[in-house]
Amino acid sequence: MTHCPLIRAQRIRKLALTAGLVVGMVAGSFASPMAHAATKKAPKAEKFTLLPEATVEQLEAAERVLTGRYECEFGKRVSVDRNDRNRGYFNLNLGKQSWVMKPVLSSTGAIRLEDIKGRALLLQILTKSMLMDTKVGRRLVDGCVHEVQRAAEQELLRNPQPSNLQ
């Protein structure tokens, strides 16, 4: 039974990740069509485009965004950096692709970085992140882990939390 805590931690992690992914995908499918329509009319967003001033809620969510490099599955990397010209916004890069992102705090505590054009979504949960193309409804890259998320994962393995499902 020496492996029991490890197996339990793995089951908890799997449940947490599955729940986070499902919540993120469901929330993404209910995004406001009006918000997408508004972004289509806006001029092409680039790193130096002035965007609407960030709301208080957006600034609060921005404090929880993990900036820097994320190591993802299949050797891919995502980087998230603060947008220097637009407080409360971020620049996200995956290979040659880049987006200007707006942070949103979800009711589950997950952080959503939503592309201002309505095309991409980075979902950040406790132990990993994933980047989705919301127009076609598929993942661009999954299993992205920031150093803070890696530390949280290791802590869960050392100190498994009791399940809420029992």
Phi-psi region of 15 (alpha: psi -120 to 50; beta: other; left: phi over 0): alpha
Task: Please give the single-letter amino acid code of residue 30.
Answer: F
Q: Give the C-alpha separation, 55 to 57, whole Å.
A: 5
Helices first, then strands: H and E counts in the chain: 4, 8
Query: CA nearest 112: which of 104, 95, 120, 99?
Result: 104
| Angle at which helices 4-29 and 147-158 cross, to 10° | 140
pLDDT confidence tier of residue 166, bands split at 50, 70 and 90: low
Residue 20 pLDDT:
52
Residue 165 pLDDT:
79
Q: Which residues of 115-152 are buried (b: 16+ CB within 10 A; e: fewer)?
A: bbbbbbbbbbbbbbbbbbebeeeeebbbebbbeebeeb
**Quick check: 48 pLDDT over 90?**
no
Residue 4 pLDDT:
54
Quick: pLDDT tens for 53-83.
999 999 999 999 999 999 999 999 999 999 9
Q: Which residues are within 8 A (CB) of 56 and not within 5 positions of it... i.e. 6 or more apart? A: none
Q: Domain residues of the chain, as ranges?
A: 4-158
Quick: pLDDT tens for 77-106.
999 999 999 999 999 999 999 999 999 988
pTM value surpassing 0.85? no
Q: Which fold has domain 4-158?
A: Lipocalin (2.40.128)
Mean pLDDT of 125-129: 94
